[in-house]
Amino acid sequence: MILQVNNLSKSFDKKIVVNIPFLAANKGDILGIVGNNGAGKTTLFRLLIDLLRTDSGNVTIFNKDVSESEEWKSYTGSFIDNSFLIECLSPEEYFAFIGNVYQIKEDDIRNRLSTYTAFMHDEILHQKKYIRNFSAGNKQKIGIIGAMLINPQILILDEPFNFLDPSSQIEMKRLLHRMNEESDTTILISSHNLNHITDISTHILLMEKGKIIKNIDNSRKEAIYELEDYFKITDNLYPII
């Protein structure tokens, strides 16, 4: 078992945002996490990588508590939002910085970046501008590439399809599939796009008010219909006026 959540809870202003008794991810799993706004997906991801202090419970990666050990950072890639970027750097400088932190040689960084040529679409490298001056979609790409560049054993991405054009969304799914197939990478990914989630996930976790209310085996072709039925029902609870 690579990642495990035990009795995890987090509240803000006495409102419970995450309440998960148990969650586990094994090597090679792709866990897609879905839920309406406010379901707790982003808070869960921040807890997984120790960006937030838990109220109770813990998260372990390879049996090491993430709040007590730094070791997990060497093989965990993540991108939650633009705060992960260093916007006063160019993309080249940012990727070189990641290489320095993870002790990856310059030649290896260049070779690994070539893997993402189609994804970058000639819009990232050699543009002679800082990350802060890129579009939202290209900032998203830079952050995702930075997370994948270390060849992580665990990859955590929050809403990575946001801001990406359709061709980039398709290419990103291909990159995730390849990383999972070639390196058996464990991937946790959230998205509001049910089609993308069902395209790539082995299991789909449905969150509601901080709880995981369903763990859906995505090998069943009925999975997408089960999700669609849930969100149709939920939508009916909040009619458009």
Please give the full DSSP string across the chain, using - where no structure is assigned.
--EEEEEEEEEETTEEEEEEEEEEE-TT-EEEEE--TTSSHHHHHHHHTTSS--SEEEEEETTEETTT-SGGGGGEEEE-SGGGS-TTS-HHHHHHHHHHHTT--HHHHHHHHHTTHHHHTTSSTT--S-GGGS-HHHHHHHHHHHHHTT--SEEEEESTTTT--HHHHHHHHHHHHHHHHHH--EEEEE-S-HHHHHHH-SEEEEEETTEEEEEEETTSTTHHHHHHHHHHHHHHHS---
Answer for the pair 224, 234: CB distance below 8 angstroms, yes or no: no
What is the structure's pLDDT at 1? 86
Asked whether the CA dihedral 79, 84, 89, 93 is positive or negative, the reply is negative
Q: Is residue 40 part of a domain?
A: no
What is the structure's pLDDT at 235? 45
Q: Is residue 176 part of a domain?
A: no
Q: Is residue 224 part of a domain?
A: no
Nearest to 20 by CA among 44, 53, 50: 44
Answer for the pair 159, 3: CB distance below 8 angstroms, yes or no: no
Q: Is residue 225 part of a domain?
A: no
What is the structure's pLDDT at 237? 44
Answer for the pair 176, 200: CB distance below 8 angstroms, yes or no: yes
Tell me the residue range of the domain where 194 lies. 10-31+47-171+184-212
What is the structure's pLDDT at 11? 97
Q: Which residue has the tokens 């997990």?
A: 72
Q: Is residue 3 part of a domain?
A: no
Looking up residue 97, the CATH number of its domain turns out to be 3.40.50.300
User: How many separate domains does the chain show?
Assistant: 1
What is the structure's pLDDT at 2? 95
Q: Is residue 68 part of a domain?
A: yes
Mean pLDDT, 10 residues at a time, the chain of 241 residues: 96 95 97 96 98 97 95 97 97 98 96 97 97 98 98 97 96 97 97 93 96 93 87 53 37
Q: Is residue 220 part of a domain?
A: no
Q: Is residue 194 part of a domain?
A: yes
